[in-house]
Structure 1
Amino acid sequence: MVTLKQLAKELNVSISTVSKALNNSDEIGVETARRVKELAELYNYKPNKVALSLKQNKTKTIGVIIPNILNHFLAKVLYGIEREATKQGYNIITCISNESLDKEKESLQLLANGSVDGFILSIAEESQASNAIDHFKRTINQGLPVVMFDRVANDVLCDKVIVDDFESTYNATKALIAEKRKKIAFITNINGLSVGKLRRHGYSKAILEEGVMEPLVLKIKNKDDKQKKIKSFFKKHKSIDGIVAADSSAGIIALNTAINFGLKVPKDISVIAYASKSDSFHTLPRLTTIRQHAKAIGAKAAEMLINRIQSVHPTENYKTTIVKTSLVKNKSTL
């Protein structure tokens, strides 16, 4: 592979001149810059990224840690991160914590040795369950900025990107109340997560404000058989006429269970769930969804991190950006 030294020798100029010409420095004349760039293109010259990172003390690489690559929402956030990072000239290295605290710690340690300029992450379930945050604080104290998205730790001082979990669930529940539904249940498979708790609180507030209903909540654990739990729930509470689901799988199973019990959707029961557009295509009738705009979350997280990395005078003025959800009405509600 051709080097700056070889280009300089062939053009009979200094290495510094070649470097400045390739970086569009005003110090280099138009004709010289043209000759340098033409020869660099002829030899397919590529800058040595390792050398550049050592010189600039920057790797132009972002570490991304997500809890579950099979989660459709998280995969779309990752897509948004990668697209925005590429647009701004950054690469990403992705690690999967698999909801494990130890794996999350290992990923941070692995990449914090000079491999990346900062981190974008969503916290593992084990970390949230045990409120483990010291590993995040250590990383930030090393001088590596962190941006958290979706699942965040309020006690960690860093930038964050979240959705309006409380408000959107409150509004979805109010929409079912406006349909004159009398027994609205909340089904969740993510109650142990920060977002799951916020969604449950939003539902409960809307229900309690009516003064005539009590919250009816089904919490499903990871080890549980979701279909059996939801089926038993329907058998026990035969008068349910509204469902708000905290995640897509709970919403889809609830809708299918209602149909299997002979209920007409949405005449007898309405169902709303946090889910993507593609999820709604796999249900009949099509599921009314709370859309989280995952790609926008990823893009915003990348933008915030890169701005902090590139800041000449970084401050501790951390921001939390809220990406508004959308309630997309389909055929599972009136």
Structure 2
Amino acid sequence: MITLKQLAKELKVSISTVSKALRDSPEISSETIEKVKFLANKYDYRPNKIALSLKSNRTLTIGVIIPDILNRFYSKVLNGIHDSADKHGYDVITINTKESLLKEIDSLRILSTGTVDGVIIAMSEETLNKNDYSHIKEFTMKETPIVMFDRVTDKINCDKVIIDDFDAIYNEVKSLKDLGRKKIGFITTINDLNVGKYRANGFRKATFDFYGKFNKNLILRIPKNHDKHIEIEKFIKKNKPDALISADIICGVISINIARNLNIEVPKELSVVGFGDKTISEYSSPKLTTIYQHGTEIGNRSVELLVDRMNSKWFGLNKNLNSYSTDIIPTLTIGGESK
């Protein structure tokens, strides 16, 4: 197995230069980084992470805290995190909070003991409902960088990666109006979450802007303990909408299936659009038109922000450590057959 010393000798640079280039240090030119990585890949170089950790006091590990590992969106984000972490030479530790505030508190406590160099987190539903961010604020007081994604709050000062939930729904209402739809309904099962509220507010504002009024009866909020099929069927029968936007993908699929059972033609008589993972959209006939969230890209960008923050810490760069960025990843409406 080739060593750093051998790579440095062949490239006629110092061992330090090779080491920094492999970690994408801003001290090294992009041309040198490219040459070093090309040769390292050629010889299948693998760093000794234990030795690196002992020498630099770094673990080369990122901690990821997600609220629901079975959720396809978070699975996509996690894939993106792993891809980008691998590129930068980091391992990933993943903790599933199962939407529990207590589990989230314990997770941050575990990760604050020096086991990771940085943390990426999406808050649990219980954390948001209780409006309790004290454990995250406490964590930000430590030296371990943190990045929040999807479920974020302005009460925490850190880098964030989100999509514009408000604009995504607002623009979809406009698109449906342009298609001639006159009575658009909105279905949500996530109104207690900040992302759900943003989507509902986007719908409310768009219907007022484009139709001159807002009808609160055209928003269906389904509590967790209620049967989605029953609630959606009652909503469609009572309000007779000619378009539906679902704040999640499952209710979008259910809406199409219920419409078919009610002999309502989709999309001729009823357009349906869902928010979420495009794979699940295929479980309806016709295939559901989907507002896609780009989960993989959110994961990639979260790692890039975290690595940049960690590099600023480790390499002593002149980055303003009190200045944070919020990156907005644009959504994309994927044309199924239901719009």
Q: Does 1:185 align with 2:185?
A: yes
How far apart in 1 are the matches of 2:3 and 2:178?
66
* Paired letter, 2:331: T
Amino acid at match of 1:230: I
2:19 aligned residue: none
Identity of matched residues, %:
44
- Give the alignment's TM-score, normalised by structure 1: 0.85
State the secondary structure of the residue aligned to 1:152.
coil
5+ residue gaps, structure 2, are 16-43
**Structure 1 pair 47–234 and aligned structure 2 pair: CA distance change class (3 A):** closer
Matches for 1:33-182 after TM superposition, within 5 Å: 49-182=49-182
Q: Secondary structure at the match of 2:279?
A: helix
Cross-structure match for 1:7: none
Q: What's the Cα RMSD here?
A: 2.1
Structure 2 partner of 1:40 = none
Whose Rg is larger? 1
Is contact 1:20–1:27 with CA below 8 Å preserved after alignment?
A: no
Aligned partner letter, 1:269: L
Q: 1:24 to 1:263 in 2, by over 3 A?
A: same
Q: Deviations over 1:289-320 (max 9, x none)?
A: 11111100100001110111111235111000
Give the 5 Å matches for 1:1-334.
21=5, 24=8, 26=13, 49-209=49-209, 210-215=211-216, 216-237=218-239, 239-311=240-312, 312-313=316-317, 314=319, 315-333=321-339
| Aligned amino acid, residue 52 of structure 2 | L
Q: Is the 8 A contact 2:249 2:281 kept in 1?
A: no
Partners in 1 of 2:3 and 2:332 — Cα distance?
49
Spell out, residue by residue over 1:99-129, the C-alpha distance to the aligned partner (whole angstroms, 9 max, x if none). 0000011111111100001111111000011
Kindly state the Cα deviation for residue 137 of structure 1 after the two structures are TM-superposed: 1.1
Output the CA distance in 1 between the equivalents of 2:244 and 2:284.
Answer: 15
Give the deviation of 1:212 after TM superposition: 4.7
CA distance in 2, matches of 1:60, 1:229: 49
Q: Distance in 2 between matches of 1:165 and 1:330?
A: 20
TM, length-normalised to structure 2: 0.84
Partner-residue secondary structure (3-state), 1:161: strand
Cα distance in 1 for partners of 2:162, 2:45 equals 42
Task: Note the C-alpha offset of 1:70.
Answer: 0.8
CA distance in 1 between counterparts of 2:14 and 2:268 reads: 74
Q: 1:189 to 1:47 in 2, by over 3 A?
A: same
Q: Once the 2 structures are TM-superposed, how far is the Cα of residue 142 of structure 1 from its aligned partner? A: 1.0
Q: Which residue of 1 aligns with 2:37?
A: none
Q: 1:252-297 CA deviation, whole Å, 9 max, x = no partner?
A: 1111111111100011110011132212222111111111111001
CA contact (8 A) 2:246 2:252 kept: yes
Does the residue aligned with 2:283 lie in a helix, a strand or coil? Answer: coil
Corresponding position of 2:36: none
- Aligned-partner residue type, residue 238 of structure 2: K
Give the counterpart letter for 1:85 in structure 2.
A
Equivalent-residue separation in structure 2 for 1:132 and 1:152 (angstroms): 12
Structure 1 residues 193 and 212, CA gap change in structure 2 (3 angstroms): closer
In 2: Cα distance, 1:60 partner to 1:23 partner: 21
CA distance in 1, matches of 2:46, 2:83: 22
Instruction: Quote how far apart the aligned CAs of 1:20 are.
Output: 6.6
Q: 1:51 to 1:242 in 2, by over 3 A?
A: same
CA distance in 2, matches of 1:232, 1:256: 14
Alpha carbons of structure 1 residues 181 and 57: separation in structure 2 relative to 1, 3 Å? same
Structure 1 CA distance for aligned equivalents of residues 302 and 46 of structure 2: 29
Q: How many angstroms does 1:222 deviate by? A: 2.1
Change (3 A) 1:27 1:208: closer
The total of aligned residue pairs comes to 301
SS at match of 1:277: coil
Amino acid at match of 1:231: E
Gaps of at least 5 residues in structure 1 are 3-17, 29-43
Q: Decide which moves more: 69-78 or 207-216.
A: 207-216
